[in-house]
Amino acid sequence: MSGGPGDRRVEGAAADGSSTAGGPGDSSRRGDLDSWLSLRRPPDMPSAQDIDATTAAKPSLAGLGRGGLMAALAAIGVPDRQLKMRAAQLWSWIYARGARSFDVMSDVSKELRASLAAAYALERPGIVREEVSQDGTRKWLLRLAKRGHEARLPEVETVYIPEPDRGTLCISSQIGCTLTCSFCHTGTQRLVRNLEVAEIVGQILLARDRLGDWPDAEPTGGARRPAPGTGFNPYEHRPERRITNVVLMGMGEPLYNFDNVRDAMAIAADGDGLALSKRRITLSTSGVVPEIRRWGDEAGTMLAVSLHAVRDQLRDRLVPINRKYPIAELMAACRAYPGLSNARRITFEYVMLKDLNDSLADAKALVKLVAGIPAKINLIPFNPWPGTTHQCSDWEQIERFAEIVNRAGYASPVRTPRGRDIMAACGQLRSASLNLTARERRAASG
Ligand code: SAH
Ligand code: SF4
């Protein structure tokens, strides 16, 4: 059987556009899913799909670390001496092959599969809504389980951005954000809570499900069966992956949810599972200085820093965490980032705000500020959202700005806005069900 009624309901929606159950066979219809994803959208307009998300009754194993899997196995009576081996089997099925049902786990005994299915599910976060932009960007609104005293089911967004040479998944680390950067839509939503490890990893699993981005369930030839811990690469059969990169640039400040984000990225980077190289994972921070070095030591991913201004006076206004950790301290932390080299550069993000931070003097000061740091400078045209008072710089000004940065020897790609029509571009994410009050809006944009 499949991993629970919730699984089937989402599959049903994917296959036929309704929220009715599609039957157990649906989960393997990757071809159908592909064509649904590409054909459902009329060529000239974005699509939106409401999906009836459900919450699983049984705890899900999808998103757990090795320790969590071993504890779950022990709880259903698996003997201690088998725990490591059984957890490795589950790991491989969940993270290397994307199993959504215990049924397919052909190297696990029938009895154990039955016990697992009786106690657990392989559920991902529920999808409430899926939107596809004119440019192919996809945004999923996810509904998570309630924790503690939460009044309603929390929601979070994940975005997939396809490009010719890569596919980037932009994931969230918190529901809302405690920080209030003046140009960011997420910053207008107060923090609801940190995401848990399984909710962070779940965003990757779910995106892989929706994009059909798993290797074939059954490898050809018995010899190719995954042997846990042997570095078996199931993608040998289908080397082209849709998700090649993960960026922690969705909702929230990832360094304020340090431990969960670190543990989730360890699962994402594990070579026996999702196997995303740490060089293809980028954490973006607004500048939580004391955690930057620790992140490098404990997680070792690529780093992006939301700089956005070269003077404290302006950065204090745009990125208020600057009042706590001013530019000089931030730059010192960047210079000391573990593993920094020409092959592992820091990306400095700089949102282009008309008449605020886009003068040519600013461009020159920016180049001086990052001098000596192996760096890329990413110029991001400001993405507007309802209620903002900011405006995007004129295109000619962005080009003049980029020219100065380029001439100083920095690659300075201007990030093409992606998914603006579905509010999926940088800084446009916000839990859709939360409507801003007029006061919140004024407070956020003032
Ligand atoms: N909290 C982290 C990561 C999430 S934001 C951070 O601030 O770095 C990801 C990137 O989008 C950041 O560089 C952020 O400054 C930028 N951003 C936020 N709002 C934006 C907007 N409206 N237009 C363009 N970029 C924006
Ligand atoms: Fe939070 Fe980042 Fe938005 Fe600032 S830019 S409010 S830190 S999500």
Q: Same CATH fold, 59-119 and 12-41+126-440?
A: no
Task: Give the Cα separation of 356 and 108 in Å (integer).
Answer: 61
Task: Give the Cα separation of 377 and 359 in Å (integer).
Answer: 16
Tell how far the Cα of 427 is from the centroid of ligand 2, in angstroms: 7
pLDDT for the residue numbered 430: 64
pLDDT for the residue numbered 32: 26
Tell how far the Cα of 321 is from the centroid of ligand 2, in angstroms: 10
Lowest-pLDDT choice from 11-15, 121-125, 170-174: 11-15
- Write the DSSP string, 409-430: T----B----SGGGT-STT---
Assess whether the C-beta atom of 183 lies below 6 angstroms from ligand 1. yes
Rounded to the nearest integer, the mean pLDDT of the chain is: 81
For the stretch 60-69, pLDDT in tens is 999 999 999 9
Q: Which tokens sit at 50?
A: 């409401």
Lowest-pLDDT choice from 31-35, 227-231, 236-240, 391-395: 31-35
Task: Give the Cα separation of 212 and 351 in Å (integer).
Answer: 33
Beta carbons of 312 and 321 less than 8 angstroms apart = no
Lowest-pLDDT choice from 19-28, 175-184, 189-198, 247-256: 19-28
Ligand nearest to the CA of 428: 1
Spans of all domains in the chain: 12-41+126-440, 59-119
Task: For residues 129-142, give the mean pLDDT.
Answer: 91
Beta carbons of 99 and 105 less than 8 angstroms apart = yes
Whether 170 has a pLDDT exceeding 70, the answer reads: yes
Assess whether the C-beta atom of 288 lies below 6 angstroms from ligand 2. no
Whether 143 has a pLDDT exceeding 60, the answer reads: yes
Beta carbons of 2 and 100 less than 8 angstroms apart = yes
Task: Give the Cα separation of 5 and 295 in Å (integer).
Answer: 38
Backbone angles phi, psi at 209, to 5 degrees: -60, -50
User: What is the pTM assigned to this prediction?
Assistant: 0.81
Whether 371 has a pLDDT exceeding 60, the answer reads: yes
Beta carbons of 167 and 242 less than 8 angstroms apart = yes
Tell how far the Cα of 205 is from the centroid of ligand 1, in angstroms: 24
Ligand nearest to the CA of 189: 2
Query: At 353, which amino acid appears?
Result: L
Whether 440 has a pLDDT exceeding 50, the answer reads: no
Name the residue with tokens 């945004």: 139
Closest listed residue to residue 367, CA positions, set 401, 396, 390, 341: 401
Cα dihedral across residues 404, 405, 409, 414: positive or negative: negative
Task: Give the Cα separation of 105 and 76 in Å (integer).
Answer: 17
Q: May I ask the CATH architecture of the domain 59-119? A: Orthogonal Bundle (1.10)
- Secondary structure element (H or E) that encloses residue 193, with its range: strand 193-194
CATH dotted code for 12-41+126-440: 3.20.20.70
pLDDT for the residue numbered 427: 64
Task: For residues 404-419, give the mean pLDDT.
Answer: 83
For this structure, is 157 an active site residue?
yes
Mean pLDDT highest for which of 40-54, 144-158, 332-346, 416-430? 332-346
Closest listed residue to residue 254, CA positions, set 205, 326, 303: 303
For this structure, is 426 an active site residue?
yes
pLDDT for the residue numbered 428: 65
Name the catalytic one among 157, 199, 253, 349: 157
Instruction: Determine what percent of the chain is predicted with pLDDT higher than 90.
Output: 65
For the stretch 87-122, pLDDT in tens is 999 999 999 999 999 999 999 999 999 999 999 999
To the nearest 10°, the Cα dihedral for 215, 217, 222, 226?
60
pLDDT for the residue numbered 4: 30
Categorize the per-residue pLDDT at 171 as very low, low, confident or very high, splitting at 50, 70 and 90.
Answer: very high
For the stretch 72-94, pLDDT in tens is 999 999 999 999 999 999 999 99
Closest residue by Cα to atom 21, ligand 1, is 427
pLDDT for the residue numbered 1: 28
Strand order in the sheet with 375-381: 47-50, 126-132, 138-143, 155-163, 166-170, 245-248, 281-285, 302-306, 346-352, 375-381
Task: For residues 119-127, give the mean pLDDT.
Answer: 94
Task: For residues 340-350, give the mean pLDDT.
Answer: 95
